[in-house]
Amino acid sequence: METYFEVLFFICAGLLFYPFTMQAARLFRPSGSSARKLANYECGVQPIGQAQVQFHPNYYLLALLFVVLDVEAVFLFPWAVQLKELGFFGLAEMFVFLGIIVVGLVYAWKKKVIQWQ
Amino acid sequence: MSLEQLLFLVVAAVIVLAALGAVFARRIMHAALCAVVVFTAVGGIYAIIGSYFIAVAQVLIYIGAVATVLVFAVMLSGQKDIAGGSPIRRQARWKTVLTWAAFVVGLVMVFQFTLNLTVPASGPANAPMAAESATSLRFLGQLLFYDYLLPFEVISLLLLLVLIGAVVIARKESDPQ
C-alpha cells in the first residue's frame, strides 16, 4: 500500500492546487467586476443561451460503446501477465473473446453508429 | 488507530458525503459529479484493503467509462426534464417517509450482518495479500483462464449483447431509418 501514497499525495496536491492558485491570483489581480467580465468565456465568442443544452443522442451511444470496450480492456490485464504460462491456448482464448466483441463492434459500424452524420 | 484505519475513515466520510450530495443535489449535473466522487473514493477503499487490480479496474471502468455515460446522459436530457432538481425533492410525503424507512431498515440489517460476520484474518494489517500484490494479478489470470474459462467467454457474449442492444434501442428511439 505504501506505493499508493504517491497517488494519495497526487490527489491532495490536486485538491490544493485550485484554491492555492486562485488565492495567489487574487493577490495580483485588480478587483472590480462587471456583468461582461462574469460571463462565460468561450474563446472570445459571445455566449448564446444557457450552458445546458440538449446534446445529440449519438454521444450517448458512443459512450456506451466505450464502456463495453473498457470492460473488455480490463480483462486484458490478468491475461497479459499470465500469457507466457498460458501459451498458445491462452492466446487462442483471448482471440475468441475479442472476436465475439468485435462482432458487436462491426454491427455498430454497419449501423453507422460510429459514423458522424 | 493504525494508518489504514485513519485512511479508511477519511475515505468513508468522503463516500458518505458525496453519496448524500448525489441524492440531494439541486442540479442533476452536480448529482452526477458527486457520483463520480463516490466512484473514486470506492476505488480508494479497494486500494486500502489491498485489492489493487480491482482499484485500477474501478478507475478504468467507473471513472473512465461509467462517469462518461452518466455525464452524457445528463447532457442528453433537455431543460424541461431536469427542472426542479432531484425527483426526490418532488416526491409525495408518504413516499419520502417510505424511502427513509426502507433506508433505516436496510442500515440496521447491514449493521446486524456485519456484527455477526467473522472476518478471516487476512486484512492489510497482517498482509499476506499486500505482500502478494505483485502476483495477485497473475493469480487472477490463472483463475480466469483455468478454472473460470466458460464464465469468461460468457462475459464476452454478454458484452456483445450489450453492444447490440444499445445500438438497437438507441437507433429506434433517436431516428427510425
Among B142, B160, B166, the residue with its CB nearest the CB of A82 is B142
| pLDDT at residue B47, as a whole number | 85
Q: Which residues in chain A touch residue B156, judged by CB atoms under 8 angstroms apart? A: 72, 96-98, 100-101
pLDDT confidence of residue A111: 82
A30/chain B closest Cα distance in angstroms? 31
In this structure, what C-alpha cell is assigned to residue B71?
455525464
pLDDT at B85: 54
Q: Please tell me if residue B138 touches chain A, with a CB cutoff of 8 Å.
A: yes
| Grid coordinates of B154 | 460468457
> Residue A47 burial (CB < 10 Å; 0-12/13-18/19+)?
exposed
Q: Taking a C-beta distance cutoff of 8 angstroms, is the pair A61, A113 a contact?
A: yes
CB neighbourhood size of B158 (10 A) = 14
Contact A70, B60 (CB under 8 A): yes
Q: What is the mean pLDDT of each run of 10 residues along chain B (177 residues)?
A: 84 93 84 93 88 88 91 76 58 80 91 75 48 65 83 89 85 59
Residue of chain A nearest B127, judged by CA positions: A1
The 10 Å CB-count burial string (b at 16+, else e) for A94-112 is: beebeebbbebbeebeebe
Predicted pLDDT at B128:
47
Q: Could you give the ipTM of this predicted complex? A: 0.72
Low-confidence ranges of chain A (pLDDT < 50): none
What is the C-alpha separation between B47 and B35, in angstroms, rounded?
Answer: 19
The region, left, alpha or beta by phi > 0 then psi within -120 to 50, assigned to residue B85 is left
The verdict on pTM exceeding 0.90 is: no
List Cα–Cα distances, A65 to A94, A112, B81, B171, in angstroms: 19, 13, 25, 14
Domain boundary assignment for chain A: 1-30, 54-117
- Per-residue model confidence (pLDDT) at position B89: 61
Looking at residue B170, its pLDDT comes to: 75
